[in-house]
Structure 1
Amino acid sequence: MKNTVAKVVLGLGMAGVLVGCGAEETAKDSFDQIKEKGTLVVGLDDTFAPMGFRDSDGEIVGFDIDLAKEVGERLDLDVEFQPIDWALKETELTNGNIDLIWNGYTITDERKKQVDFSSPYLENSQIIIVLEDSEIQTKEDLSGKVIAAQQSSSAVDAINADESTIIEEFANEEVVLYPSNNDVFNDLASERSDAIVVDETLGRYYMKQNEDISYRVLEDNFGEEEYAVGMRKEDDKLTEAINQALEEMKTDGTYDKIYAKWFAE
Structure 2
Amino acid sequence: MTRYFSRVVAVAASAAFALGLAACATGSTPSASPAGTTSTTPSASASVDVKQLTVTPGKLTIATGKPAYSPWVEDDKPESGKGFEAAVAYAVAEKLGFTKDEVVWKRTTFDEAVTPGPKAWDFNLQQFSITDERKKAVDFSSSYYTTSQAVLTYKGSKIAAAASLAELKAAKLGATIGTTSLSALNKVIAPTEAAKVFNNNDDAVLALKNKQIEGLVVDLPTALYLSAAVIDNGTIIGQLADNTGGDQFGLVLQKGSKLTAPVTAAVDALKADNTLATLEKTWLSESISVPVLQ
Shorter-normalised TM range: 0.5 to 0.7
Q: Which runs of 5+ in 1 are unaligned?
A: 1-6, 8-28, 143-163, 172-187, 190-195
Contact 2:59/2:104, CA 8 A, preserved across alignment: no
The TM-score, its normalising length taken from structure 2, stands at 0.48
Indicate yes or no: 2:269 matched with 1:248: yes
Aligned to 1:119: 142
Aligned letter for 2:254? R
SS of aligned partner of 1:68: helix
How big is each residue's C-alpha offset from its partner over 1:155-207, in whole Å with a ceiling of 9 and x where there is no partner? xxxxxxxxx9945x969xxxxxxxxxxxxxxxx99xxxxxx998514634985
Aligned letter for 1:107? I
Aligned to 1:138: 174
Q: 2:253 aligns with which of 231, 237, 261?
A: 231
Distance change >3 Å, CA 57–CA 72, structure 1 → 2: closer
Count of matched residue positions in the alignment of Structure 1 and Structure 2: 192
Contact 1:43/1:98, CA 8 A, preserved across alignment: no
Q: 2:109 aligns with which of 82, 85, 88?
A: 85
| CA distance in 2: counterparts of 1:47 and 1:94, whole angstroms | 23
Aligned to 2:15: none
Contact 2:152/2:234, CA 8 A, preserved across alignment: no
SS of aligned partner of 1:82: strand
Contact 1:45/1:85, CA 8 A, preserved across alignment: yes
Aligned to 2:84: 63
Distance change >3 Å, CA 206–CA 58, structure 1 → 2: farther
SS of aligned partner of 2:248: strand
Aligned to 1:184: none
Q: Which runs of 5+ in 2 are unaligned?
A: 1-9, 11-49, 158-171, 178-196, 210-215, 240-244
Q: 1:203 aligns with which of 204, 223, 226?
A: 223
| CA distance in 2: counterparts of 1:57 and 1:41, whole angstroms | 10
The TM-score, its normalising length taken from structure 1, stands at 0.52
- Give the helix-richer structure, 1 or 2: 1
Indicate yes or no: 2:117 matched with 1:94: yes
Shift of 1:131: 5.0
Aligned to 2:128: 105
Contact 2:154/2:234, CA 8 A, preserved across alignment: yes
Identity among equivalent pairs (%) = 23
- Bigger relative contact order (CA 8 A; separation at least 6): 1
| CA distance in 1: counterparts of 2:225 and 2:79, whole angstroms | 18
| CA distance in 2: counterparts of 1:120 and 1:57, whole angstroms | 20
Distance change >3 Å, CA 166–CA 240, structure 1 → 2: same
Aligned letter for 2:141? S
Shift of 1:60: 6.7
